[in-house]
Structure 1
């Protein structure tokens, strides 16, 4: 999901506040994505890294470190690490999803091939671990290594859960916490760890990132059914791709026999026909699951804001509060 062009853009204010640090991060990313022997690596990586993403995750690491008073050099390494992990997962995701477009541009697997995307993703994961080690912190290595494993676990869980009508809201949340929230929370957490703050503040940073990541993904899933192109994908893509997201999971739980048969045919078996999306939308409306999903996204945004309470009074903290509001602004 991308952050759209609303009037208030806290991520842009964060970018201005962290401009010097982000310049250093971008320089380190360019330096470390180089390869002496395999020019395909910087070609593929540059296509995605330079595609104009918001760099939200590395900014969160820099924001956490700066808010907590860190004045050393390693927050830059950690921010670059987070971006490499994120970019690696995008390269792999586009292969798994057979995607042809990312951030409005052709995907790497379309321009090159699946093999290049997978192997360059592997290279970026390896580079990310080299950067982690350079901080000299085993705690940081532990957090980011666990996050990387959790992301992969979430993606594999989604493979089995995506079209299974037995998927519960708890399993959905586990997938979201894996594939999206894990990197948000780790990005915040390592910023506090490198700054040497107290354990309660480290936990607060983790809790903020986790809740923000969950809200972020729920909003993305909701907008797929809300008649907007703000997500950069067509309305109903998740339905056509047989992805059980929160609005549908809620509807399946309340389905009568006829509705369940519809979900069984279209999602579980993938036998979709003309007019099925409209039928799905009507069922969601009948059970008001889009509104229920909206309420959950707003609740996670509130959890994110509440988590910031133990952290230092700092302009960046205010921006993080605004960011939590902004993530859900389009559904408020």
Structure 2
């Protein structure tokens, strides 16, 4: 679920540039800590970890953690350790995802599992999770530890839910939302909430950032769902149709299957359940989705969650950090424009 967005486009970079600028100094410290904590005397661990860590991700989640802490006046260094923990949790999830999904490519490069094997990918992911929790403990905030450890458990539950729903065209929209809320939105929510927690912000402020994060995460993942059928490789850092070829049940597929004719449903069964998903099948899939407005409705739902995220921040005082976090909502949704 960790799609990478190319920041070379002027339009997109301008959208998220305030957040990048605000967190630049602290992100420098995060990047140093990432390299330090990914190190090990076991040679394969830094090799596998750095393969993914250095492959071009924009590190949006740790930037959110940093901004969410400083917007409430935090001045210590705990936010740097928590931001690094968030990034390690995300990286571990990507390593595990690629094994579960049997993915060959990520961000245009061979996945770690293709180079070092499934076992190494899973075990290095576990190592990164361990390092993440060590840094959380160092920060000394039991509440922050509770939030991030709970998120780790929820993400794992989401992985299992997705595995149970794999290739199942009877998956409902509600069931799909439960999966993406766990797999993607939970980490966005935790990344946003731990900032005000260590800044000793009010419970209302914490709730605002938690709501912002979870709804931003839902919007982010729904746009990823839509991008697989209506985007470009530059937008995603992967090939159009990858989800389709892997037989993933995403919202555009769910809507198209439920709205489709009997013949179209038979097509989806052949493509998703039986693996008949060549380029011609992808072309037909996109045609069916267009006919039923499945991609457009997926984007519409993403915008809905984006507005909830925006409203969550509305009562907070106007600060550069608040403005930058609002810009992130537009950035996530505009990836498909």
Match of 1:83 among 84, 87, 96: 87
Matching residue of 1:143 = 147
Matching residue of 2:17 = 12
SS of the residue 2:5 aligns to: coil
Shift of 1:273: 6.0
Q: Is the contact between residue 68 and residue 312 of structure 1 (CA under 8 Å) also seen in structure 2? A: no
CA distance in 2, matches of 1:35, 1:331: 39
Match of 2:221 among 217, 223, 228: 217
SS of the residue 2:308 aligns to: helix
1:13-162 matches, within 5 Å, as 13-36=18-41, 38-162=42-166
Matching residue of 1:238 = 243
Mapped pair 1:318 → 2:318: no
CA distance in 2, matches of 1:68, 1:227: 37
CA distance in 2, matches of 1:234, 1:28: 31
Shift of 1:132: 0.9
Q: Deviations over 1:56-107 (max 9, x none)?
A: 1111110100011111121111011101111111111122222222222222
Q: Is the contact between residue 252 and residue 289 of structure 2 (CA under 8 Å) also seen in structure 1? A: yes
Unaligned segments of structure 2, at least 5 residues: none
Report the CA distance shift for 1:182/1:31 in structure 2 as closer, same or farther (over 3 A): same
Match of 1:189 among 177, 188, 193: 193
Q: Deviations over 1:4-61 (max 9, x none)?
A: 324242433322211221121122222222223x121112112222222111111111
Task: Give the TM-score normalised by the residue count of structure 1.
Answer: 0.94
CA distance in 1, matches of 2:122, 2:35: 19
CA distance in 1, matches of 2:336, 2:120: 38
CA distance in 2, matches of 1:273, 1:92: 26
Q: Is the contact between residue 96 and residue 122 of structure 2 (CA under 8 Å) also seen in structure 1? A: yes
Shift of 1:143: 0.6
Report the CA distance shift for 1:237/1:102 in structure 2 as closer, same or farther (over 3 A): closer
CA distance in 2, matches of 1:112, 1:213: 30
Matching residue of 2:299 = 294
Q: Is the contact between residue 180 and residue 221 of structure 2 (CA under 8 Å) also seen in structure 1? A: yes
Task: Give the TM-score normalised by the residue count of structure 2.
Answer: 0.93
1:193-212 matches, within 5 Å, as 193-212=197-216
Report the CA distance shift for 1:75/1:250 in structure 2 as closer, same or farther (over 3 A): same
Shift of 1:277: 2.1
Report the CA distance shift for 1:73/1:209 in structure 2 as closer, same or farther (over 3 A): same
Report the CA distance shift for 1:260/1:66 in structure 2 as closer, same or farther (over 3 A): same
Report the CA distance shift for 1:105/1:271 in structure 2 as closer, same or farther (over 3 A): closer
Matching residue of 2:4 = 2
Shift of 1:259: 2.0
Match of 1:279 among 249, 274, 284: 284
Report the CA distance shift for 1:6/1:243 in structure 2 as closer, same or farther (over 3 A): farther
Report the CA distance shift for 1:19/1:163 in structure 2 as closer, same or farther (over 3 A): same
Shift of 1:227: 4.8
Q: Deviations over 1:255-300 (max 9, x none)?
A: 2322222222222233446632232222212211121112111111
How large is the Cα RMSD of the aligned pairs? Answer: 1.7
CA distance in 2, matches of 1:261, 1:189: 44
